[in-house]
């Protein structure tokens, strides 16, 4: 347990340093992710830095049931019309992300099963324009529906953006709108080069009726969380 505690302390320390360098790395390691995930989805870092003359960027989160798969896309728009795209995929996390029960065979890889799998590529000006056009057609830059609820065990998208100093936020929830207004998903998936198949939305029982059978009676929703959308972003938790 002392070894595990030391490893977790190191993870937290390195995660804090990474936060200052690149926001997506603040959710790479599972322990640090548990502290920063909601701020990352809310894109607090993008919003705080959004000002005229600043960097144009978009962060899209596809929550395909938290315990099954999450895909995060960071789009960095360049002055020449191209864009850098980074992809992070969390897959098969299980109902709870904990490391205390792991048998440590290699200390350096203690959190390996829960790390993001990553990819990146450069989009041409034509590809970028097409993707941005599809986002525009999807009303991806806001405003969102105030009060929309995003359970961890449902399918949903969030889109946070800063373009020419203007902050924007949007969210889509399946099955509320069955993603009827999401025009950008297939094009974005076509650029995704992480070798983990996309977890497509499917019809499920309402989120509140689904339980984790591995938790003891009375604790079936102990690992559940809910995000709520406000007028221009996520409401504070």
Contact 160/233 with Cβ under 8 angstroms? yes
User: Where are the chain's structural domains?
Assistant: 43-99+113-201
In the predicted model, is pLDDT for residue 189 greater than 90? yes
Distance CA 66, CA 186 (A): 20
d(CA 30, CA 34): 6
- The pLDDT tens digits of the residues spanning 111-157 come to 444 578 999 999 999 999 999 999 999 999 999 999 999 999 999 99
**Whole-number average pLDDT of the chain:** 80
Residue 26's pLDDT is what? 58
**8 Å CB contact between 188 and 124:** no
Q: How confident is the model at residue 212 (pLDDT cuts 50, 70, 90)?
A: low
Token couple for 196: 């983990």
Q: Nearest CA to 198 among 82, 87, 108, 111?
A: 87
CA distances from 58 to 33, 79, 109, 211 (A): 20, 14, 31, 33
Q: What is the pTM of this model?
A: 0.79
CA dist 46 and 25 (Å) reads 14
Q: Are 34 and 100 in contact (CB under 8 A)?
A: no
From the CA atom positions of the chain, what is the Rg in Å? 18
Which has more confidence, 95 or 187? 187
Instruction: Name the pLDDT band for 200 (thresholds 50, 70, 90).
Output: very high
Inter-residue contact 59 to 159 (CB < 8 Å): yes
- Of the CA atoms within 13 Å of residue 52, those in its CB half-sphere come to 0
């Amino acid at each position: 347990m002392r070894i595990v505690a030391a490893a977790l302390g190191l993870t937290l320390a390195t995660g804090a340093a990474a936060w200052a360098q690149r926001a997506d790395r603040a959710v790479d390691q599972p322990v640090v992710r548990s502290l920063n995930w909601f701020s990352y989805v809310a894109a607090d870092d993008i919003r705080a830095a959004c000002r005229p003359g600043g960097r144009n960027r978009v962060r899209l989160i596809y929550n395909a049931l938290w315990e099954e798969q999450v895909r995060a896309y960071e789009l960095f728009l360049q002055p020449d019309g191209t864009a850098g795209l980074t992809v992070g995929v969390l897959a098969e996390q299980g109902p709870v992300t904990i490391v205390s029960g792991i048998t440590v065979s290699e200390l350096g890889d203690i959190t390996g099963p829960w790390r993001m799998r990553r990819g990146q590529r450069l989009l041409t000006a034509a590809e970028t324009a097409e993707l941005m056009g599809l986002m525009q057609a999807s009303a991806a830059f806001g405003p969102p529906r105030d009060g929309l609820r995003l359970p961890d065990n449902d399918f949903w998208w969030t889109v946070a953006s800063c373009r020419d100093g203007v902050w924007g936020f949007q969210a889509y929830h399946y099955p509320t709108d069955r993603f009827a207004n999401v025009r950008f998903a297939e094009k974005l998936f076509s650029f995704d080069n992480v070798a983990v198949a996309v977890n497509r939305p499917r019809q499920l029982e309402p989120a509140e009726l689904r339980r984790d059978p591995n938790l003891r009676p009375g604790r079936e929703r102990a690992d559940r969380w809910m995000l709520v959308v406000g007028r221009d972003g996520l409401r504070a938790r």
